[in-house]
Amino acid sequence: MKILLKDFRQIYRRYYLETSDVRGEIVKIKRVTISFYERGQWEEPVTLNIKHPNSKDEGVSRDSEFANILINKRVGDIITDAPCPKFKIIDILSSNEIDDVEEICDNLEDIKNRSDEDLIKLGESLAEIIQNAISIPNNTDKLCKVIVVAYINKEEIENAITLVSELTKHGLNLSHILEKLTAVKETQGEISISNITDVKVLNHLGGLHIDLGAYEKSKAILERSLSLDSRNNVTLTRLGKLCRKACWYADGEYYYKRAIDLNNRRSGHPYNGLGALHRDQGDLFKAVEYFKEALDIDYTDPFAHKGIGATYMDLKMYDEGLEHFQFAGYSELDFKRLYNQLRASGNIDGASKCFEYILDLASKNSNEDENNSKKTS
């Protein structure tokens, strides 16, 4: 910032009215982004928090002259009557908007019931709110995903990409969402779903929308695919996955079983899907049966091993679960992550078994390295 240090100190001392919570009263403020005019040019903007000058908060400076000037200004206003260098209003943000975002992030299930229009309006202001916020509220990434679904429902992929790109600049880890949105844009282009006749393309788009959480849109795409080829195993399995993710369990079971009827046990994917579906519903023994069916078809299937391993862990059959995780290709690092997860969730017994397994694995790897060293020497 090119503002003279003495001028900035004067502005801070006289006109920066700090926020506070006195006697339990939350006093609303305005967060104002302004640009100083000095030496014939506008300088880099700076953000100030302005408390309403009529506040009865005794802990606030009584010098409210600057706040009086700013409190009713609009974006774009150039302030010539300020008792310091000229200002231009770049942005005005009420603190209650930030409070709203934090409240929304804490109540995501409720926010999902809002209309797409309301969510898009929130998305339009979210980047500015996050940019000016001192800290990013928890679950903002999940809120962004909900807003992205609203954009998708309204066929506004470009706007969704713009929002996610902007939020990524402010420190949110949304690269996975941006990657999927970009893939949707590149795959679909400007073509309407109703005009796409390639089943592979439709199945790919359907899968991308499942990953983005746009379940209704994915359903429409995959049903379009099924109308073109009613016996396509990939389409049926993907519809099963969609229904499982969306908790439409009865429909999910229907699609998975229909895929099984048609594929003559050539693929374990529908069995894995049914295993995951029953595990999600807490029917763990039924889930084990389906994962075993998948392993009967292909015992090297890592998805089946992961699924049955996780289910055995749920059943507190830790030795069996850990063994299947090893068959799934878990490395020593993967088992350490699993140990941390079990410990963090309070599953002390499972964490202890996992720790013992890590020690055994480390010992075996050490012995193998020693034997290999002897062979080469």
CATH of the domain at 320: 1.25.40.10
Contacts of 30-33 with CB under 8 Å at 24 or more apart are: 30/70, 30/71, 30/92, 30/93, 30/94, 30/95, 31/92, 31/93, 31/94, 31/95, 31/98, 31/132, 32/70, 32/73, 32/89, 32/91, 32/92, 32/93, 33/89, 33/90, 33/91, 33/92, 33/93, 33/132
Please list the alpha-helical segments (H only) found in the chain: 5-15, 65-70, 95-106, 108-111, 116-132, 140-153, 157-169, 175-188, 199-212, 215-228, 233-245, 249-263, 269-280, 284-297, 302-314, 318-327, 332-344, 348-376
Give φ, ψ of 178 to 5 degrees.
-60, -40
In a domain, 328, yes or no: yes
Cα–Cα nearest to 111, from 99, 96, 122? 122
Domain count, the chain: 2
**Structural domain boundaries, residue 302:** 265-333
Rg, the chain, Cα only: 29
In a domain, 116, yes or no: no
pLDDT at 362: 81
Q: How far apart are CA 20 and CA 17, in angstroms?
A: 10
pLDDT at 129: 66
- Contact indicator for 27, 55 with CB cutoff of 8 Å: yes
pLDDT at 23: 34
Per-residue pLDDT of the chain (377 residues; tens, 9 = 90+): 233 434 443 444 444 433 333 333 334 445 555 565 555 555 566 555 555 555 554 443 434 455 555 555 655 666 665 545 565 655 554 444 545 555 666 666 777 778 899 888 888 877 766 665 545 666 778 888 999 999 999 999 999 999 999 888 877 889 999 999 999 999 999 899 999 999 999 999 999 999 999 999 999 999 999 999 999 999 999 999 999 999 999 999 999 999 999 987 789 999 999 999 999 999 999 999 999 999 999 999 999 999 999 999 999 999 999 999 999 999 889 999 999 999 999 999 999 999 999 998 888 766 665 666 656 65
Tell me, yes or no, if the pTM score tops 0.85. no
Last residue of a domain, one of 297, 317, 333: 333
In a domain, 69, yes or no: yes
In a domain, 186, yes or no: no
Residue 88: helix, strand or coil by DSSP?
strand
pLDDT at 284: 97
In a domain, 29, yes or no: yes
- Contact indicator for 320, 351 with CB cutoff of 8 Å: no
Last residue of a domain, one of 333, 350, 365: 333
Burial class (CB in 10 A: 0-12, 13-18, 19+), 86: middle
Please list the alpha-helical segments (H only) found in 91-174: 95-106, 108-111, 116-132, 140-153, 157-169
Q: Is 328 left (phi over 0), alpha (psi -120 to 50) or beta?
A: alpha
In a domain, 87, yes or no: yes
Last residue of a domain, one of 59, 75, 94: 94
pLDDT at 100: 55
